[in-house]
Amino acid sequence: MKNAMHRTGQKLRLLQRRAVAGGRKVHTNLGELVAAAFDTVGAEVKDVAKLLASPELGRAANSRIVLVQ
């Protein structure tokens, strides 16, 4: 029982290290983000603005994007 718990702990630590190693940050600029939004949504500017101003994207980018027309 003790060995099984030890092996499980080792596996969990290994999985945690792999998750941290695989989660490297990607550096993007605002232009790349806007281009990706146009690729995703299409040519509709209002839909792109809605996507860029969404709270989910703000959380993912760790910053708030405010668009002014």
Whole-model pTM: value is 0.56
Q: What type of residue sits at position 31?
A: G
Per residue in 38-52, pLDDT tens? 888 888 888 888 888
Residue 3 confidence (pLDDT): 59
Reported confidence tier of residue 31, pLDDT bands at 50, 70, 90:
confident
d(CA 3, CA 46): 59
Say which amino acid occupies 16.
Q
Is 34 within 8 Å of 52 (Cβ atoms)? yes
- Structural domain boundaries of the chain? 2-61
42 or 17: whose pLDDT is higher?
42
Q: Per the structure block, which two tokens stand in for 48?
A: 């792109």
* 51/56 Cα distance (integer angstroms): 9
